[in-house]
Structure 1
């Protein structure tokens, strides 16, 4: 069984799909960082394209054999037959091949890989393809990820691994958006785009994939470093925290989370933090537990039996109690009323919709709500 109680055999397909995408994404990012003067095409006719050089990416934790690369080579051969000026590489990780090594196919090996389709191409085309194609053996996911972080620190002047991880999350979301919103042939990104992105971006998504391959404890440490590096004692910085709560979460855990947020962010002249627990349908038990614990709060209800008043929770008369508790069903009206500088969404399954705010937003994957204390405290 896994951490979340799902049998490993049920997760293997999704796990390897996520890992394969993450490996391909980092390979694309490496090409961007290593070719700063060129545009890089992602998910075009091949996985990666730099000028007229095309790359397919494969990550295999098994031994190398011709049969393992046949499909990729067949696709590249078909593209080469249509454009003999192009060059190709298969960037792949195999457990028995040293990173940095390369390999060129012999004509006989190419015939074996092409199989029945070999007769489709004349000998001249096949011979020239062997000179235009090479296999580049890559490091495993972990080592490649470390290389990416190192290059991000250098190229984008990240001050720490945690800041490099933040940039990695920004770029990951950006490249995914490029793939989803642009047609094949128009999915191009430059290093200049990355610099612009990290200097102006308002949101970042830290996905479960980071935790899968970095290890969850290391993932939490990187997040903790990122939050520690963020200035909290800033006057007039209004923050909203959205926390997704799973079934079976004890109400006292939510009290502890709310208390931690108040202690950390209600400092000096900073406004009281807003907190909304997504997945809690009835806040009565939580409010009762908070009052019994001496954790006072404002909730947008001026008097018993009143309707929710977003103006009242945003600008509480008398300054309030240093903590704003918001029903998630009322979150849109609060966002429309308050000018949040920061929105922090801690989610278990899917991120909350990005708020319509001019402030920055973070979407952070966690395994359980109480992990917030390991990040924030």
Structure 2
């Protein structure tokens, strides 16, 4: 598979996932459900209707009857099982986007058109009549058509995404950034995880369950969302949303960062500390309220933290950690010591997890907490009137690209 073909295939999956998300958001009742990869790509079940939807994205393809003929024949296979009493009677829908050629199909179609253009085909130089194979009468084919909806003027890929963002903004009463980076990001992960389940029962989800699964404000490093958005663009948007401003306010900012168990170098951590300090400190004599950030490195080994501090100290980088003397207990009042041009304190290091809460409760100024986690959020204490941002990352070096 060429790179371009791979991209087109991935986009086709995205389109189906997005369509499933759209269908879920537009269900009338919380108890209504969909199944991913059931009878068709998306099966919708409500109190009054059962609908199996074949969803296709042909961005570079001109519409021809043959393109949708096989999906319609597969739907007719299911309908035959219905007439035999083996399957439940349902409605069918073919939903597809094409680059052009939609005018070739005039709707609605009749049984003659159905047989001539969708059910009759040549394979290995042999003519096949799908309706004859199933021994279906014209009356039965007409009944099948009464259950079938064909829509070849589906929304273009980005327009469908825009529709979803609008639906999410309405659902969660939020702005576009939150709708896209939180709820749509979450939704993609939920649908992707369901789609790969082997048990069809696990590929079924109600509107209520779906909304509860996506209703949290946390930026996930979801590979599907990264593929959709693009890593560089995502990092730029996060930076613009949270870490860019002409005038940085003199707030008390805490950066709490999970250190991965593997795949990191001490130099990366040190570089990250220096970057955070440089961007989020103001110690100039001209600064009316000088300030510097706090940092906590989650899961770092005590000896590794000690060696890191030694290196920073040996390089003349000034920091405090809330310990007044050797053998003393952590003193949150001590770590609140104001940074300024005289003492040149460039960062405040929190050694232990429990020091975060002690420090936050001691701070009386405006506070912001930025949690960067590698796997699962590790700091779940919520404070009133404190801005708290949770961002998942893959590599430590990703954080520098965001802040």
TM-score in terms of structure 1 length: 0.67
Q: 1:205 Cα shift?
A: 2.0
Report 1:222-237 matches (<5 A). Answer: 222-227=237-242
C-alpha spacing 1:244/1:21, structure 2 compared with 1 (3 Å): farther
Q: What is residue 92 of structure 1 aligned with on the other side? A: 96
Q: CA deviation at 1:88?
A: 1.2
Structure 2 length as normaliser, TM-score?
A: 0.63
Matched residues in 2 for 1:158 and 1:102: separation?
41
Count residues in correspondence: 337
Please identify the structure whose Cα radius of gyration is greater.
Answer: 2
Matched, 1:240 2:262: no
2-structure distance, mates of 1:13, 1:246: 34
CA shift for structure 1 position 167: 0.9
Offset at residue 316 of structure 1 (A): 8.8
Alignment-derived partner of residue 187 in structure 1: 203
| Secondary structure at the counterpart of residue 62 of structure 1 | strand
1:123 to 113, 119, 137: 137
Q: Does 1:65 align with 2:87?
A: no
Q: Mean alpha-carbon deviation: is it higher for 125-134 or for 260-269?
A: 260-269
Structure 1 residue 169 corresponds to structure 2 residue 169:
no
| Residues 126-275 of structure 1: pairs in structure 2 closer than 5 A | 126-136=141-151, 137-180=153-196, 183-185=199-201, 187-199=203-215, 201=216, 204-227=219-242, 240-242=256-258, 251=267, 255-262=270-277, 264=280, 272-275=294-297
8 Å Cα contact 1:110/1:130 also seen in 2: no
What is the deviation of 1:335? Answer: 6.7
Report SS of the residue matched to 1:91.
strand
CA contact (8 A) 1:40 1:189 kept: yes
Residue 45 of structure 2 corresponds to residue 29 of structure 1? no
Greater mean deviation of Cα atoms: 261-270 or 288-297? 261-270
CA 256–183 in structure 1, closer or farther in 2 if over 3 Å, else same = same
Q: CA deviation at 1:296?
A: 3.9
| Structure 1 stretches of at least 4 aligned residues deviating more than 6 Å after TM superposition | 232-235, 243-250, 265-271, 282-289, 314-317, 334-342
Q: C-alpha separation between the residues in 1 aligned to 2:224 and 2:397? A: 20
Do the aligned partners of 1:163 and 1:226 also contact (CA within 8 Å) in 2? no
RMSD over aligned Cα atoms:
4.9
Q: Does 1:294 align with 2:288?
A: no
Task: Give the 3 Å change call, closer, same or farther, for CA 97–371 of structure 1 in structure 2.
Answer: farther
- Segments of 5+ residues of structure 1 without an aligned counterpart are 1-7, 304-311, 326-333, 346-351
